[in-house]
Structure formats: C-alpha cells, structure tokens
Amino acid sequence: MGDLASPLDIRAHHLLCILGFRGLGYSQEFVAKMGKVVEELTSNSTFPITIIAGCDAICRSCPHNKNDRCRKKADSEERVRAKDLAVLERLGLEAGTQITPAEVWGRVKESFSANEIRKICRKCQWLELGYCVEGLEKLQAG
C-alpha cells in the first residue's frame, strides 16, 4: 500500500476493530482508509506498525476527528484512550512499541477472549454487531 506510512501508527484498540471490519464506518473516506489499513495488516505480516494510544491513520479519516481528538461525544476522546490503554496492557506492550502484524496478531490471539473484547468495548456502537468477536474467533481458529 504505497499511500500508508511506514511504520504505520495504529491506535491500540483499532487492532480489535480491524478484526471485525466489514466495510462499515462513519463515512466513505473512513471506510476506504480503514479498508486499506485492514488489507495491509492482514496480508503483509512484516509491514512495520507502531502501536499508539492516540490519533492514528484511521482516525484522521474519521469525520469525528477534530485536531487529532475524537469529538463524537463530549467524553469520546477519554473513552477511546482508555480502550487503547486497556488493549496495550492486555497485550503487554507500551505505547510507541514498533511491531509487525504477525507479532501483534499472535499477541491478540493469545491475550484476548470474547469476554475481554466485550468488557473493553462495552460502550462501542459496533460491538453489538458481533463482528469483532467473530474476527477474534477466526484468528484463534486459524
């Protein structure tokens, strides 16, 4: 993907979103960017990524992003950052860790359960669709 930075910054909780991505999103621009990121991180096991707790390449295409902060609701930035920190803790990583998709998917596979996703993402509008849990189950079965 020539238009993705290398290493690519990925917000920690977006790893869970990537598992469940089905072409839905907040806008056409967001869906297109998310699709490119998902394709790269699921097809290229060596593409360098940096796991962060803040605005990433996906966020920058979101219509709720204002000055690199989530403004969907008054408390959205704090909630998404809390999700990032919970995912980082679960993975045993620090913000700023550079890693490959192969390494991070291995950690996700070993570190997460469906219940853990439901706990971390309990207020996410996309959780009720079940796609992220399905994606985790597929990762763990493969």
Q: What is the pLDDT of residues 28-44, one digit of tens each?
A: 999 999 999 999 999 99
Q: What is the mean pLDDT of the chain?
A: 95
Q: Which domain holds residue 132?
A: 8-137
Contact 49, 100 (CB under 8 A): yes
User: What's the whole-number mean pLDDT along residues 121-139?
Assistant: 95
Say if 1 falls within a structural domain: no
Mean pLDDT of 99-128: 96
Asked, for residue 97, whether it belongs to a domain, the answer is yes
Q: How far apart are the first and last CA of the chain?
A: 25
User: Alpha-carbon distance 123 to 40, whole Å?
Assistant: 27
Domain count, the chain: 1
In whole angstroms, give the CA distance from residue 35 to residue 52.
Answer: 19
In Å, how far from its chain's centre is CA 3? 18
Q: Does residue 46 sit within a domain?
A: yes
Omega of the bond prior to 63 within 30 degrees of 0, cis? Answer: no
pLDDT of residue 142: 87
- The sign of the torsion formed by the CA atoms of 42, 110, 114, 78 equals negative
Instruction: For residue 58, tell me if it sits in a domain.
Output: yes
> Does some domain include residue 22?
yes
Residue with tokens 């985790």: 136
Domain-embedded: residue 125: yes
Residue 52 resides in a domain: yes
Question: How far is residue 102's CA from residue 35's CA, in Å, rounded to a whole number?
Answer: 18
Q: Is residue 131 part of a domain?
A: yes
Q: Give the pLDDT confidence of 39-83 residue by residue, as tens digits.
A: 999 999 999 999 999 999 999 999 999 999 999 999 999 999 999
Position 2 scores a pLDDT of 52
